[in-house]
Amino acid sequence: MERAPTGTIVWRGARRRCGRCGAKHIFRTYFQLHERCPRCGYRFEREEGFFTGVYLINYAVTAVLLVLLIFGFLIWSAAHGGDASIWPWLGAGALIAVVAPVVVYPYAKSTWAAVDLAARPLDPVEEAEAVQWAKTTD
């Protein structure tokens, strides 16, 4: 299979698709990725502890959202002469801290698999295993 450009691989992953072929339906459940891509046979977890990077992406997205909320509060407060109540903003922050990681998790998981594929293309053995797996499932 011909290797797609790096940007394409990562963009596919960011949309919950296989980074290698762009196939949809790579998740068994909302949180659980299939072992392999249903179309091309790409093995998503290529080594033990592979998905540790998922937590990094998930944390980074949540942290950015919280920082944006803080900036929003500072701007809102400055616009209202420093009289803005902090409680609605704290509630929004708590909601973001709980909901964002849950919502972002599958996107982070497929994105991390795509980033890894872009950084470390499949070696010949992995390529052969993927092709063989795809042939046996057709």
H or E stretch covering 121: none
* CA-wise closest residue to 93 among 76, 71, 110, 111: 71
Predicted confidence (pLDDT) at residue 81 exceeds the cutoff of 90: no
Predicted confidence (pLDDT) at residue 7 exceeds the cutoff of 80: yes
End-to-end Cα, the chain, rounded Å:
17
* CA-wise closest residue to 27 among 130, 84, 117, 106: 106
Counting other chains too, the contacts that 23-29 makes at CB distance below 8 Å and 24 or more residues apart are 26/110, 27/106, 27/110
Question: In the 8-state DSSP scheme, what is residue 125?
Answer: H
pLDDT band at 19 (very low <50, low <70, confident <90, very high): very high
Percent of the chain with pLDDT over 90: 82
Predicted confidence (pLDDT) at residue 1 exceeds the cutoff of 80: no
Predicted confidence (pLDDT) at residue 16 exceeds the cutoff of 70: yes
For the chain, the average pLDDT equals: 93
pLDDT for res 138 = 66
Specify the range with the lowest mean pLDDT, choosing from 42-46, 48-52, 56-60, 102-106. Answer: 48-52
- Could you give the angle at the alpha carbon of 53 between the alpha carbons of 29 and 50, nearest 5°? 75
The reported pTM is 0.86
pLDDT band at 57 (very low <50, low <70, confident <90, very high): very high
H or E stretch covering 96: helix 87-119
Predicted confidence (pLDDT) at residue 46 exceeds the cutoff of 90: no
Across residues 20-27, what is the average pLDDT? 95
The residue behind tokens 């209202």 is 80
Residue 52's CB: how many other CB atoms inside 10 A? 9
Query: What is the Cα–Cα distance from 81 to 107, expressed in whole angstroms?
Result: 39
Predicted confidence (pLDDT) at residue 137 exceeds the cutoff of 90: no
3-state secondary structure (DSSP) of residue 27: strand
